[in-house]
């Protein structure tokens, strides 16, 4: 049978930039055992499969596969999937915002489609409430630096913690002192994979506050330790990083803090990710709880209390095709 797919670039302002994504808009007839092999065949960081949803209010059920395994949550497949679905289903678009949702492995996800002159502009995805682990100990930071091909000073000079953060997908956040040092990163993926064992995270998100564009809050690179590859635009990681920056007051914090994250330049696929972090003006004492041996923080402990993280990006269609499987 022929299986049709659409190709889009997410977090891009032009074709052949951003994070490439293959979307199968009608995957209900694809056998379960073919989903992973098809994703491997498409050879992108992620492939999106859409099928009917039984949940009220959901446009579709979304499943996401990398080359190696199913992913419970990711930003660019969700935005790309909604762009393809809205375009091909001729979804009635109401200006300035059309609100939709999809069913994922973690429940219902809300998406806003910003409409400009009857056309899809930016898409925005509400992510999960942030969780953050304890900071890594100095000896662990040394291991991270060596695994990235950096000196410990390249990380320690930032005075920011190395820790796992999540707004739906756990990632290890690593601050780097300069744009030059970040550009010099040469990851040893085996060492990074060993370092992350038992931490839930599989992506290392290294960033610096030195940026190419003066309006950006951070320049980042994402390293997938399972796939041993760099990702040009990682939406879930950008959401986690933005929550991290606000939680640690590493940026000017407002009731709605708007951040721009640059990514993908090292791969020749520049990506622009837009994030809003909403905080309560009055903080709470918060609490600590232990999950799988890791201490996680909720509340603020004198920090802003984050109640919502929203990821935004543009999607550019670049083609379509068929698989005979």
Task: Evaluate whether 202 touches 169 at the Cβ level (below 8 Å).
Answer: no
Q: pTM of the full predicted structure?
A: 0.92
- For residues 200 and 148, state if they share a domain: yes
Question: Distance between CA 73 and CA 301 in Å, rounded?
Answer: 28
- For residues 301 and 320, state if they share a domain: no
- For residues 187 and 280, state if they share a domain: yes
Domain encompassing residue 16: 2-126+315-324
- For residues 147 and 252, state if they share a domain: yes
Token pair, residue 133, equals 């682990």
- For residues 142 and 291, state if they share a domain: yes
Token pair, residue 246, equals 């606000």
Tell me the CA end-to-end span of the chain in Å, nearest whole number: 6
The candidate with the shortest Cα–Cα distance to 146, out of 213, 192, 196, is 192
The candidate with the shortest Cα–Cα distance to 83, out of 72, 263, 269, 75, is 75
- For residues 103 and 211, state if they share a domain: no
DSSP conformation letters of 30-49: S-HHHHHHHHHHHTSS-EEE
Question: Distance between CA 295 and CA 214 in Å, rounded?
Answer: 36
Question: Distance between CA 81 and CA 59 in Å, rounded?
Answer: 10
Residue-level pLDDT at 106:
83
- For residues 135 and 122, state if they share a domain: no
Report how many domains make up the chain.
2
The candidate with the shortest Cα–Cα distance to 157, out of 171, 178, 140, is 178
Residue-level pLDDT at 303:
73
Residue-level pLDDT at 192:
97
CATH number at residue 177: 3.10.310.10
- For residues 95 and 151, state if they share a domain: no
Residue-level pLDDT at 10:
98
- For residues 214 and 257, state if they share a domain: yes
Residue-level pLDDT at 302:
56
What is the chain's pLDDT, residue by residue, as a tens digit (325 residues)? Answer: 899 999 999 999 999 999 999 999 999 999 999 999 999 999 999 999 999 999 999 999 999 999 999 999 999 999 999 999 999 999 999 999 999 999 998 889 999 999 999 999 999 999 999 999 999 999 999 999 999 999 999 999 999 999 999 999 999 999 999 999 999 999 999 999 999 999 999 999 999 999 999 999 999 999 999 999 999 999 999 999 999 999 999 999 999 999 999 999 999 999 999 999 999 975 544 434 434 434 444 443 457 899 999 999 999 999 999 999 8
Question: Distance between CA 276 and CA 167 in Å, rounded?
Answer: 12
- For residues 175 and 103, state if they share a domain: no
- For residues 191 and 273, state if they share a domain: yes
- For residues 67 and 151, state if they share a domain: no
């Amino acid at each position: 049978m022929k299986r049709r797919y659409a190709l889009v670039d997410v977090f891009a302002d032009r074709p052949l930039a951003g994070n490439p994504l293959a979307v199968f808009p009608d995957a209900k007839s694809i056998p379960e055992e073919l989903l992973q092999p098809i994703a491997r065949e498409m050879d992108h960081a992620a492939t999106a499969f859409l099928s009917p949803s039984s949940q009220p209010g959901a446009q579709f059920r979304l499943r996401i596969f990398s080359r190696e395994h199913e992913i419970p949550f990711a930003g660019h497949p969700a935005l790309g999937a909604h762009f393809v679905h809205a375009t091909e289903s001729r979804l009635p678009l109401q200006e300035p915002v059309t609100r939709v949702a999809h069913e994922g492995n973690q429940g219902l996800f809300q998406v806003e489609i910003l409409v400009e002159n009857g056309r899809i502009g930016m898409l925005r995805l509400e992510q999960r409430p942030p969780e953050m682990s304890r900071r890594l100990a100095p000896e662990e930071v040394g291991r991270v630096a060596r695994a990235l091909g950096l000196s410990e000073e390249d990380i320690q000079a930032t005075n920011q913690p190395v820790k796992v953060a999540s707004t739906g997908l756990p990632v290890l956040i690593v601050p780097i002192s300069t744009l030059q040092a970040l550009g010099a990163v040469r990851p040893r993926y085996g060492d990074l994979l060993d370092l992350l064992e038992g931490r839930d995270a599989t992506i290392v998100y290294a960033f610096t506050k030195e940026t190419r564009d003066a309006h950006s809050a951070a320049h980042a690179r994402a390293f997938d330790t399972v796939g041993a590859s760099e990702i040009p635009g990682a939406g879930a990681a950008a959401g986690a990083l933005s929550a991290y920056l606000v939680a640690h007051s590493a940026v000017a914090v407002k009731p709605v803090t708007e951040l721009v994250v640059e990514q993908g330049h090292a791969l020749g696929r520049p990506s622009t990710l837009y994030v809003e972090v909403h905080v309560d003006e009055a903080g709470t004492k918060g609490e600590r709880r232990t999950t799988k041996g890791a201490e996680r923080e909720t509340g603020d402990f004198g920090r802003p209390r984050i109640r919502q993280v929203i990821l935004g990006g543009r999607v550019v269609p670049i083609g379509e095709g068929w698989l005979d499987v």
